[in-house]
Structure 1
Amino acid sequence: MNDTAAGAGDLKTGGDTDELDPEPGHLAELPRSLAVVTTAREGSAVEHQLLISPGATAADVTAAMILMPPAAALVGHRGAGDVALVFREPAGLAADAAL
């Protein structure tokens, strides 16, 4: 039975020797996310800022927003190229989450 899978580590048969393809190297740096959530806590207030950069896809925004509590409400926005949406958790939710 022939193995038809292709990828790193494939056996090359050429000439007198059998050689393996080299394994892929590590990325020097992970790509920067185009949608990032930061959280700020001040007393009982908890705010989450969603920073969306140009080129962000719906998938980027969704992946970032899933990090915020569902009850957080949009309370402000800023923008000058990138867009920052600020969500605030209801007061009771922040205290419950600490337990």
Structure 2
Amino acid sequence: MPELHRPDRSDRFDDELLGLDPADPEARAFAEHLDRMQRQRPAFTVEGYLDGVSHFADSANRAEGSRRWGAVLVVGLLLAVAAFLVWEAFVFVVTTWL
């Protein structure tokens, strides 16, 4: 009788990680890592860019210590630059109309 496909189990245990215990948390974490590393993303599309942002957010949420603070700093700088550009555009539009 064939085994039913479980969505929480990576297909890597059937192919590349044959012999490892799928119930082992370390083996599962390694399979998830391999899945993330070899994921095919759409390139040069809005979906591809959004997938990149979600990948960055997932990585930042898993990070600890200085890597997490580095991710917070990058996001803070990006938001500061975006706020500055919006303010400059707003000032340009207002001064043009006056």
Query: TM bucket by the smaller chain?
Result: under 0.3
Mark the structure with the bigger radius of gyration.
Answer: 1
Greater length-normalized contact order (CA 8 Å, ≥ 6 residues apart):
1
Q: TM-score, normalised by structure 1?
A: 0.22
Give the strand-richer structure, 1 or 2.
1
